[in-house]
Amino acid sequence: MAYKTYDNDNIFAKILRKEIPCDIIFENNHVIAFKDLHPKAPIHLLALPKGAYVDMSDFTNNASTEEIAALFRAVGELAKTYGINDSGYRIISNCGIDGGQEIPHLHIHILGGKQL
């Protein structure tokens, strides 16, 4: 049985299908990234797999090695592009109810630009 059913109507699914406008700052075969609508730091980016994964548990259990590598490589690329590779940053992925996840499509928050 599936871990959780993926909701095709979640807002990030709509962004991925280009049904909602969004400034995509990074894209490759497996990943897209954009700026968080309500930034919690001077730099607040979201990186997500293009595949339909509900959260980190779904992703780590069901995604291919290539997809998993691509997402974390993208985080590293974004840190370099946004100039926080040396100053440092925090990555967060809220998972499920206790993790406080609001949007049920896996995403990694990348926060930086000041001491957190």
Is residue 6 involved in binding ligand 5GP (CB under 6 A)?
no
Is residue 37 involved in binding ligand 5GP (CB under 6 A)?
yes
Is residue 101 involved in binding ligand 5GP (CB under 6 A)?
yes
Counting every residue written for the chain, the total comes to: 116
Among 67, 73, 103, 113, which residue interacts with ligand 5GP (rule: CB under 6 A)? 103
State the CB neighbour count (10 A cutoff) for residue 77: 16
Whose tokens are 């700026």? That residue is: 35
**What is the rounded CA–CA span in Å between residue 113 and residue 76?**
15
At residue 31, φ and ψ (nearest 5 deg) are: -135, 145
Is residue 18 involved in binding ligand 5GP (CB under 6 A)?
no
Is residue 95 involved in binding ligand 5GP (CB under 6 A)?
no
- At closest approach, how far in Å is the CB of 60 from ligand 5GP? 16
Instruction: Please report how many Cα atoms fall inside a 13 Å half-sphere around the Cα of residue 85, on the Cβ side.
Output: 11
Among 10, 25, 26, 36, which residue interacts with ligand 5GP (rule: CB under 6 A)? 36
Is residue 10 involved in binding ligand 5GP (CB under 6 A)?
no
Helix (H) or strand (E) holding 52: none
Name the residues that contact ligand 5GP, by CB under 6 A: 11, 22, 34-38, 94, 100-103
